[in-house]
Amino acid sequence: MFELTRCSRVAALALGAWLACAATLAQAADDRPRDAVALGRYLVQTAGCNDCHSPGYAQASGKTPEATWLTGDSLGWQGPWGTTYATNLRLFFAGLTEKQWLTHARKMESRPPMPWFSVRAMTDGDLKAIYRYVKAAGPAGQAAPAYVPPGQAVTGPVVLMP
């Protein structure tokens, strides 16, 4: 009869844990939509894009009409960099090709609070899916207010950041 030593039992347990983790990750990947537009919608909803780029989304716990998703916001984010506003991505994407979007996403360095580093970390497949979702949604809404440099007055509400 084969007898496991303490070391080989630990190795067997570690291998079992690794296999269980790999199976969980594979299942999670299988749970993602396969259609590019549906995957883009899923990413926009779960990656936090709507939190700033969709008016009222965070305040309503995500229960806003999809027609308003990614239409920008007039809520300003104010800090040492000045005051920034979440871009209307529906209008922004209307003027971009997929290739231009990928180039932009890989090179962008936006002012706070935009987590541009998170966009850069996405795979090309995820970025393409987001592009296809936004393009399928089509242009909508108005342009967000323009950036305001530090020390200049703004109209409308702002979130003060350190």
Taking only the tens place, the pLDDT of each residue in 50-103 is 999 999 999 999 999 999 999 999 999 999 999 999 999 999 999 999 999 999
Contact present, 158 and 79 (Cβ < 8 Å): no
Asked, as a colleague might, if the bond just before 113 is cis with ω within 30 of 0, I would say: yes
Residue with tokens 């040492």: 80
Q: What is the pLDDT of residue 10?
A: 31
Supply φ then ψ for residue 77, to 5 degrees.
-120, 110
Q: What is the pLDDT of residue 30?
A: 66
pLDDT at 8 over 80: no
Binning pLDDT at 50, 70 and 90, where does residue 31 land?
confident
Binning pLDDT at 50, 70 and 90, where does residue 33 land?
confident
123's tokens: 């795979």
Three-state DSSP class for residue 43: helix
103's tokens: 């180039």
